[in-house]
Structure 1
């Protein structure tokens, strides 16, 4: 760090020879809620040192190697292109190993990653997802019934509890018995940068990890065998696993057509199923919560999205689900709905990206400043990118119009290239926003639970937290997003 400082590379002052930037980090933490997500750190440093620039080093030794925090979209792009790709940070693999045993796409690299990514890609193509619309609609109908029951109860409740449930059901089609074991396993996974060590030294940690993995593998293997048998009997079966298996057989030859499922395919597919549920349910659930939060705070946007649903799906709300099931292509016409989702993810991004630096791998900003990455954790902080006024006009406002097609958007709202790190969601909004009104209930929650200490970030009560052991993990709305719901 002293060498980098002598070379004039940016880092927040002062850098203490003994404590590095831990004193600064501690002071920032004191100003934030104790459970606030770690991705707020980069933007908090920007606010304290506005002349620092969007890319800078932070010294958190002994809790991590030097961190290169990147909130410049062009610099981030340099580290994540196919030709110039930094490897995933080792802590990602350390964290996921108890869950997936290291065979998932997040842990793989190089040609092995390319092979398995190619096999599973067809299951996430736009064409294949359209074939699943009717299935998703069925799960959302159950979600709507649960919300109607909450309306009748006339009580405050955790909205996230229900969005987590529907997310898991949509991803897995049914709530597999092994999902509870997977979610419990997350509590014992470790990135290697934790500031608290109790979880790491708990003598029961390895037993819990072994037992959770045993439960998951038992049920997943049974499910895989059922799917494999179904596919042999029904060549039209088109689940994600079916598509991947078909491609795998074509790669390996006809010798796999008979007998039990190939052991290598089973091992890697088992890991993918775990990570699909683990990562997917978090992202979808959190995005649903914040979409509803922002729409409830912005009546004009709510009116506009409802008008779009009237125009595309018909004014009879009871027929919307059937319309989508019969014609999934209608989703492509919900341009404002997609813009709402994208703007929500701009203001409340779900994840960031951590990569490991390499010798001679240097990032360069538009001013020609060079940033060595060797021995560094390179953190592409999506929250810092999405909330930086350098890249976004009206940065603190909810403006879905910035993500509309060019012909429907003011030129000054055009998103900067690389400045938005994407994700997707539509059907849930299409089948719920016309049926309910939502009011956030944090004031009521605080009155009942009497929390202590700071409970806002930049004035936002619905701040994001890390529900797990690491601060680079996906984020969640604090306190489960307490709400009251009303029928329209």
Structure 2
């Protein structure tokens, strides 16, 4: 009994010592960060005000949130900081190229938000810095820690060179019939929701239908695997991917604690097993040449081409489980980026163009001119002459303008003693910091973009030297440099095909009648920039109320 008591006391003391040491470490780290920011302030670096020696920039973040809906995405906060720079950088005479933020203890390292195109280019193009380790951490629920953009730069280059051919224009053109097939299913589902006698149909949330479309497309493009989300409803792959995606978050105090919970471990374990049980046999069948292909290369095919070199065999019967898991880690991230962000982009394009009748009319006129005045012939024409999609210049510009207004991407890079920003002869240190580009802010700056609040596809059609011509390196929704989104061309093709096959057949109403009903009891409806439709959530986010609309035949 005495021995048990002694052991219990020893254990409690040991545990107490660990807690004390950890608390001391956390406190030391916090004090170190606060001291670093005092030095940055003394050096005249752009540290926004107010700054509290006790709470850092936590009060500032709270102040920036004022006036925004509680569910508004974090990008609106960053944009507000950049656009209202006179309020938060009172000593500055011009917009600062970046901002140093102290969000400890919610973020364990100082954060640099980059606003200027010149600084962004230095970070990602001129002297590209490695992606921050937080990317690996954020994607771990999907990848198990194995992902090409979170490994070292040389490994990234190897994998990028292997995968680039899968997203080349030539290979994507070979997928035109598949894309047309899936988009046609989407259009038929929309037509089923119109009212009788060319009247408006009932309201519905279009985002869910778009997600099903992009999910089907990315699986067929990357893996040549039919998920049939559009025709058969939510299946185990979709459910498991959504189960994992909800945990893809930046590392902060709350998300780190979440990963200690049994629910997290159970969800990730179950979701991963379900995906592996379905996809591993499919990959193994492709390795064994048991799956008939149509001659085009998928991302998985390109990965599998390198098995012989890695196994030193001319034609191995099967790849190692480790290699298949690595391939699957790439597949799952492509699926994440290829369906989630593309779905948002599609919704934003449809939403924006229906706010501007002149833009909508020009789009329809271009489609008539390039693809014949009979909209029912568009799919057949593109199937036989897929290059005609490249001739939709105004359509392309409209998509780019939408993605200027609603930038969805960003990148996080590792600060180091060997990399500093140099802007107008001023050196901005980055050692020990997380560096984040903020396209949503860069693309909204009135000093860079003339008539910034106007929706003007023409700015992407005018010649260099024109007042509207975009500033160099300022348009970056897919980011720029060696880690530019590899699926950019596929996403643009999807959006163009949806516009081609819908705009001349259907009318959309995004006036938010149902949203008005949802918010009837609220004294002040939720809006961002006066719009009741805005980006919500954390991480990748989504569109408010999944974008309510109704449709009718033209």
Q: TM-score range by the shorter chain?
A: over 0.9
* Residues 1:461 and 2:532 aligned together: yes
Gaps of 5+ in 1: none
Equivalents in 2 of 1:180, 1:271: separation in Å?
Answer: 17
Query: What RMSD over aligned residues (CA atoms) do the two structures have, in Å?
Result: 2.2
Moved over 4 A (4+): 194-198, 231-235, 249-254, 449-454
1:164 aligns with 2:211: yes
Distance 2:293 2:142 in 1: 31
SS at match of 1:411: coil
**1:431 paired to 2:501:** yes
Q: 1:196 to 1:265 in 2, by over 3 A?
A: closer
1:422-453 CA distance string (max 9 Å, x none): 44422211211111111114342231355756
Q: Specify the SS of the correspondent of 1:138.
A: helix
- In the alignment, is residue 155 of structure 1 matched against residue 199 of structure 2? no
Q: CA, structure 1 residues 138+451, in 2 after alignment: closer, same or farther (shift >3 Å)?
A: farther
Task: Report if aligned partners of 2:183, 2:498 keep a CA contact under 8 Å in 1.
Answer: yes
Q: Is the 8 A contact 1:163 1:288 kept in 2?
A: yes
Partner of 1:75: 119
1:31 matches 2:31: no
The answer to whether structure 1 residue 321 and structure 2 residue 379 are counterparts is: yes
Aligned position for 1:445: 515
Find 2:53's aligned residue among 17, 27, 44.
17
Structure with higher Rg: it is 2
Question: How far apart, in 1, do the equivalents of 2:260 and 2:144 lie?
Answer: 20
Q: 1:360 Cα shift?
A: 3.1
Asked if 1:416 corresponds to 2:486, the answer is no
3-state SS, counterpart of residue 484 of structure 1: strand
Report the Cα distance in structure 2 between the residues aligned to 1:479 and 1:285, rounded to whole angstroms. 14
- Which aligned pairs between 1:79-158 and structure 2 lie closer than 5 A? 79-81=123-125, 84-152=127-195, 154-158=201-205
2:307 touches 2:319 (CA, 8 Å); kept in 1?
Answer: no
- The answer on 1:395 being equivalent to 2:452 is yes
TM-score normalized with structure 1 length: 0.92
Cα distance between partner residues in 1 of 2:553 and 2:112: 48
Displacement of 1:232: 7.6
Measure the CA separation in 2 of the matches of 1:297 and 1:232: 46
- Write the distance in 2 (CA, Å) between the matches of 1:237 and 1:196: 40
2: CA distance, partners of 1:234 / 1:353: 35
Equivalent in the alignment of 1:363? 421
Counterpart secondary structure, 1:363: strand
Q: CA deviation at 1:238?
A: 2.8
Counterpart CA distance in 2 for 1:436 and 1:123 is: 33
Q: Mind listing any 5+ residue stretches in structure 2 that lack a counterpart?
A: 1-36, 87-91, 221-225, 228-234, 479-487
**Aligned match of 2:362 in 277, 286, 304?**
304
Change (3 A) 1:415 1:250: farther
Equivalent residue, structure 2, for 1:478: 544
Q: Give the SS at the match of 2:288.
A: helix
How far is the alpha carbon of 1:100 from its aligned partner? Answer: 1.0
Asked if 1 retains the 8 angstrom alpha-carbon contact of 2:288 and 2:317, the reply is no
Distance 2:366 2:253 in 1: 46
